[in-house]
């Protein structure tokens, strides 16, 4: 039975309720359930009443056999059997899969009872949900966050919908067919963009929740999408130069020694980062005073050099820490459904705090405010944000918001939310940025800077990072960075690593944040002491400053840093654009040139904003590479030579520089 509820179209059939309504520009939201009512969860979407009036109204037409709902260029037709077909500008776009339909509608080809929306019950009352679409001939799919694979175009891939170290699952796809689709569900699951079928799966959920928009360009689609899930706030322009970090500065003296050396060399650094295990125990969120005796004096000196200070925070709480039992008693920690309470086992018997719980978020922020923020610490590195778990047994964990299998993907966004809201309460006008290893849909509105996670120091990891940075931008998160040189399994003494570091750095100059970080093996440095807790007992890596790899490398890095400084005003304009319309700073070629078919197939070059074409060097020993220049005129920023577009050229790529072209 069809009926209209306000501006929404509702279908009730066979115990299922389907509701479709306008939700943003040229956009529709679909929900479907076999329960008595919908949950009311918004998940990633903003409240409907916050949207302009003309973006929450729809036209509904109902007949006996079919109903249609239309919002701008996007419409959905629902058959009496419950099969939904989507249209763009009244032209067929795609249709849900149903075994009795194929080719053209009403042309039956089989009856093997595989349906479009499938519900499989769990004993806990949730369903395993599967949504299927028929394939679209010639479709290319992008977005979805960061996955460690060599593909930017995702047709033919299967992706896990789950958060892991070096994997950020953002279930938003953008298609060359002119639509964007959000799987508005934080459940663990998977999606397969198959040749014969697209299939979205939630391992545990109470209802289907889907959001779709159509428009004339990728930029317009991203603008529609970020209007309903949120955009990045304004950024502090004092963060756009070099960030200095390593594994790990163990003492206050080490930090100040590095800062003073940069001052002596006349090399400006914008941020200095204090990494993990500066604390007493995990979950105490404070400096170990034996090695950090006067944090306020340290921060004041760094500020006098124009350096902002970021400090690492982990969500893990050691059973021996002073906060463990108070948090456990108040229900502020993750719970296990069976077995031991432990959820994390690196350097301690730990349980992760439950960031989905507003009370837990406030508890942790209040401690971090007292022990960090009140000393002048400027920003937080919210590490292990997936969260990192001893075992990714999602169905064995339970959060304030529900079972782990149902809500796990939203954890990193809640983690960022707690610090963002805490900082805003103290300083309402502050431009907030915090660094996280993971995120979910809408993380950007909480000042989240994502990075690529603990990846290896290899050229293959560099290739994946370039592609990951492009896909995360298409998934709505414009603030992105990496560990220059990769994070782990490096040997600072090898020519391979020095070449990798240089190539990675040259590329990172043309990314949102330029950040030196890494483990820097071999890990053969003796600990400061042999206690089993505190700042002194854990290993550290070798030096990772600009001067650490010899004079030749230092000169290359310094020369490329000057390019970054020269681009500062331009980079700030890109951040402003991201805040205004959701555009990423790193843009796939097709984002700027959607009419150029070749640009939809390029994954080894990109646009940094609308003006600069960047061609990273991602292979060992490469000293030249092919670069495709779209129509127009392009100037090599190194020698000012101008090239006519519409052609592929061979560009020089000596160790000192990568090819970058400015659009004239």
Q: CA distances (Å), 425 to each of 182, 231, 309, 449, in order? A: 31, 20, 20, 20
Q: Name residue 309's beta-bridge partners.
A: 272
Cα 351 to the chain's mean position, in Å? Answer: 24
Return the biggest CA–CA distance within the chain.
Answer: 80
Q: Name residue 215's beta-bridge partners.
A: none
Say whether 383 is catalytic: yes
519, 525 in Cβ contact below 8 A?
Answer: no
Q: Could you tell me the sign of the dihedral formed by the alpha carbons of 178, 593, 600, 567, in that order?
A: negative
Picking from 629, 609, 606, the residue whose alpha carbon sits closest to that of residue 618 is 606
**Residue 659 and residue 664: Cα distance in Å, rounded?**
16
Say whether 5 is catalytic: no
Query: What would the two tokens of residue 203 be?
Result: 């391992």
Return left, alpha or beta for 486; rule: phi > 0 is left, psi -120 to 50 is alpha, else beta. Answer: left
**Residue 514 and residue 511: Cα distance in Å, rounded?**
7
The Cβ of residue 465 has, within 10 Å, a number of other Cβ atoms equal to: 29
The SS3 assignment for 69 reads strand
CA angle centred on 77, ends 75 and 81, rounded to 5°: 155
Q: Name residue 174's beta-bridge partners.
A: 142, 180
Cα 378 to the chain's mean position, in Å? Answer: 22
**Residue 22 and residue 28: Cα distance in Å, rounded?**
5
Q: What is the dihedral of CA 243, 247, 253, 255, to 10 degrees?
A: 0
Q: Name residue 28's beta-bridge partners.
A: 22, 212
Name the helix (H) or strand (E) containing 579.
Answer: helix 568-581
Name the helix (H) or strand (E) containing 514.
Answer: strand 514-516
Catalytic choice (234, 454, 596, 611): 454
Say whether 105 is catalytic: no
What count of Cα atoms within 13 Å lies in the side-chain half-sphere of residue 589?
Answer: 22
Q: Are strands 434-436 and 448-451 parallel, antiparallel or unpaired?
A: parallel
Picking from 367, 412, 403, 366, the residue whose alpha carbon sits closest to that of residue 385 is 412
Picking from 432, 445, 320, the residue whose alpha carbon sits closest to that of residue 365 is 432
Picking from 322, 331, 426, the residue whose alpha carbon sits closest to that of residue 369 is 426
Range list of H helices, 188-305: 218-229, 252-265, 295-304
Catalytic choice (134, 173, 209, 383): 383
**Residue 100 and residue 117: Cα distance in Å, rounded?**
14
**Residue 519 and residue 492: Cα distance in Å, rounded?**
10
Give one DSSP letter per residue of 336-400, joined into a string. Answer: ESSS-S--B-SSS-EEEB-TTSHHHHHHHHHHHHHHTGGGT--EEEE-STTT--SS--GGGEEET
Q: CA distances (Å), 620 to each of 215, 486, 498, 510, 624, in order? A: 41, 14, 11, 20, 11
Break the chain down into helix, strand, coil percent, rounded to 5. Answer: 25, 30, 45
**Residue 406 and residue 395: Cα distance in Å, rounded?**
8
Distant-in-sequence, close-in-space partners of 416: CB < 8 Å, separation ≥ 6: 382, 385, 434, 436, 439, 443, 446, 447, 448
Catalytic choice (386, 423, 506, 603): 386
Active site (catalytic) residues: 383, 386, 454
């Amino acid at each position: 039975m069809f009926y209209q509820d306000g501006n929404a179209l509702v279908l009730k059939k066979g115990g299922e309720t389907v509701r479709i309504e306008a939700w943003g520009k040229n956009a529709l939201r679909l929900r479907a359930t076999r329960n008595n009512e919908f949950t009311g969860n918004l998940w990633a979407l903003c409240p409907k009443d916050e949207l302009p009036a003309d973006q929450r109204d729809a036209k509904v037409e109902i007949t006996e056999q079919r109903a249609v709902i239309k919002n701008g260029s996007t419409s959905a037709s629902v058959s009496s059997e419950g099969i939904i077909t989507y249209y763009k500008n009244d032209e067929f776009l795609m249709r849900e899969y149903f075994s009795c339909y194929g080719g053209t509608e009403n042309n039956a080809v089989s009856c093997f009872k595989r349906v479009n929306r499938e519900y499989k019950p769990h004993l806990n009352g949730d369903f395993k949900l599967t949504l299927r679409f028929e394939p679209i001939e010639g479709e290319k799919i992008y977005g979805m966050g960061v996955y460690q694979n060599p593909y930017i175009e995702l047709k033919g891939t299967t992706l896990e919908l789950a958060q892991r170290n070096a994997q950020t699952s953002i279930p938003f796809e953008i298609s060359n067919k002119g639509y964007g689709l959000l799987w508005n569900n934080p459940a663990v699951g998977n999606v397969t963009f198959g040749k014969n079928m697209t299939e979205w799966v939630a391992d545990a959920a109470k209802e289907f929740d889907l959001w779709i928009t159509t428009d004339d360009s990728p930029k317009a689609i991203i603008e529609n999408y970020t209007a309903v899930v949120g955009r990045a706030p304004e950024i502090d322009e004092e963060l756009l130069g070099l960030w200095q970090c390593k594994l790990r500065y163990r003492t206050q003296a080490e930090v100040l020694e590095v800062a003073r050396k940069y001052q002596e060399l006349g090399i400006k650094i914008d941020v200095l980062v204090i990494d993990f295990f500066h604390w007493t125990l995990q979950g105490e969120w404070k400096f170990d005073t034996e090695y950090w005796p006067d944090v306020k004096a340290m921060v004041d000196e760094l500020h006098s050099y124009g350096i902002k200070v970021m400090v690492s925070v982990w969500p893990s709480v050691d059973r021996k820490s002073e906060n463990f039992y108070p948090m456990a008693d108040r229900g502020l920690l993750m719970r296990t459904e069976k077995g031991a309470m432990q959820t994390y086992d690196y350097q301690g018997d730990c349980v992760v705090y439950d960031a989905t719980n507003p009370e837990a978020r406030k508890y942790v922020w209040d401690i971090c405010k007292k022990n960090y923020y009140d000393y002048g610490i400027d920003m937080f590195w919210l590490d292990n944000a997936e969260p990192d778990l001893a075992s990714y047994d999602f169905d064995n964990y339970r959060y304030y918001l529900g079972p782990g299998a149902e809500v796990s993907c939203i954890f990193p966004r809640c983690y960022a939310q707690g610090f963002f809201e805490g900082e805003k309460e103290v300083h309402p006008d502050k431009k907030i940025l915090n660094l996280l290893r993971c995120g979910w849909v809408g993380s950007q509105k909480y000042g989240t800077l994502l990075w690529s996670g603990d990846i290896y120091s290899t050229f293959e990891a560099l290739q994946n990072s370039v592609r990951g940075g492009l896909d995360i931008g298409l998934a709505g998160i414009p603030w992105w960075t990496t560990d220059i040189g990769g994070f782990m399994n490096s040997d600072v003494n090898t020519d391979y690593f020095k070449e990798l570091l240089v190539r990675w750095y040259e590329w990172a100059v043309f990314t949102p944040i330029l950040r030196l970080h890494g483990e820097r093996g071999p890990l053969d440095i003796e600990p400061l002491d042999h206690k089993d807790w505190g700042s002194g007992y854990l290993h550290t890596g070798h030096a990772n400053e600009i001067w650490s790899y010899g004079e030749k490398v230092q000169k290359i890095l310094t020369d490329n840093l000057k390019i970054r400084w020269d681009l500062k005003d331009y980079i700030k304009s890109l951040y402003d654009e991201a805040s205004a319309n959701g555009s990423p700073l790193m843009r796939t070629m097709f984002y700027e040139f959607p009419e150029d078919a070749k640009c939809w197939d390029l994954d080894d070059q990109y646009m940094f904003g609308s003006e600069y074409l960047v061609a990273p060097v991602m292979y060992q020993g490469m000293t030249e590479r092919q670069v495709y220049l779209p129509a127009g005129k392009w100037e090599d920023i190194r020698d000012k030579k101008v090239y006519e577009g519409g052609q592929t050229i061979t560009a020089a790529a000596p160790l000192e520089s990568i090819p970058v072209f400015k659009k004239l």
